[in-house]
Structure 1
Amino acid sequence: MILFLLPARDYDPTESAVPWAALRGAGIPVRFATPEGRVALADERLVDQGFSILSPLLMTRSDALRDYDRMREDPDFQSPLAYSDVVDSEVSGVVVPGGHAPGMKSMLESTTAQDIFGRALLTGKPVAAVCHGVLLAARAKDPEAGRSVLYDRRTTAVTATLELSAWNLTRLRLGNYYRTYPQTVQAEVTAALRDPRQFVRGPLFPQRDTATNLNRGFTVHDRNYLSARWPGDCHRLAAEYRDLVLEYRSAAH
């Protein structure tokens, strides 16, 4: 099974549901894990509350919301594992969505979740992380080397430009909604790498991809690890991760 690590709440609906839909469409089994094994819902502001006049820019797109509605109805979504109940031998890959609201910290700061991801990556299983989800990957430690499992990997994540632009657009009304931590995601992830040049920012002016125009999205692929920056990359991330899982499944047989 492919395991989706989710926080207690507040993850991004696009970054979870679009990859889920691609995997399920290919007949690949998916399970979910949350801190205590309770159903976890996405960030309500991204699902239905919106951003007033900024909603056309920041709100989740309708196709991703349809995938999210389908994902919520999945029996496996309604019966998640607790992080502590995850059995490594039953996991064939791991996906870590992002999100920036406070509930994300229940996953990002969980050493149990970090270890699940780290063990999957280090044993060669296909893994993917997007946006703030890359923080969990960067915080996962290689127990032998004592440093991040991303130390020798190329990666992307939500860039400082994207993170600070969203914050500046909304901070008068929403305060630090778009600042999960005082340090930007890009700064923390880059500090975990052997060489700062391993962090790949992608195009300065990102475009949103679609299911029929994957080239607008941006991903970084390093061996069994795939990363992306924001919801606008997730159709490409989903397609590439699905293909990566199928490739690894074929090689195993």
Structure 2
Amino acid sequence: MQWKATAMLATGTCSLAWVGICSYAFEAHKAREQRHLASLRIYIAELERQLTCVSKQAWDTVAEVPLRAAWESLVDARLTAEPERTAVVWVDLDQFKQVNDRHGHLAGDAVLRAVARRLEEAFAAREPVVTRLGGDEFGVLVRDLDEDTDLARFAALMEEPVALPHGRSVPVAASVGFAHARELPHETGRWELLRCADAASYAHKPHRSGEVGAAPTPRSRKGFAAAAVLGAAR
């Protein structure tokens, strides 16, 4: 009987030891993950600081926003550190060429600057970083996007005509799409995130008579409603 009791005691001790080892391993893994996330957040903060410091060298002097290359580096960093919070808004100005043709390129530059400031204001609560993706297209990197509230705010700002030199003004409209990283497959990269936001924007782009817009893709379908918010601004 004594040896049985000793065996049972030994078994219980081993079980407790095993539980202790598993608990220690779990806590150690959790601590490593927390340190990793902390280091990523520090990296993002440093990247944003450097972006501010080098702004004069990596700056779009027309729209007065960071150049696309610097902006894309920040998108990559946030996708790595906090994909569940990261979203991109794609803004494509409608009939912008007509502004240049009718009012001149200086007027077009004024419109680009005004739209950039309105984007910064509309998404101010989302820690936005705005860039000009090219021509008359903008990208906005945001955290915790609330599409209904944020896009409605941008639509309201776009209802105001843009003031031009010599007392003139011009109405400006935009097609808008967005994509949440959390709604895309795990470890989706920047290219796919931008593609989905672009597709959502294009779906509501005004087309020439007889031309049909691209059909929604499953991943970007939710984003099409975002562009519709800006209908009043057209």
Please tell me the TM-score bracket, short chain as reference.
under 0.3
Which structure carries more helix by proportion?
A: 2
Q: Which of the pair has more CA radius of gyration? A: 2
TM normalised by structure 2 equals: 0.26
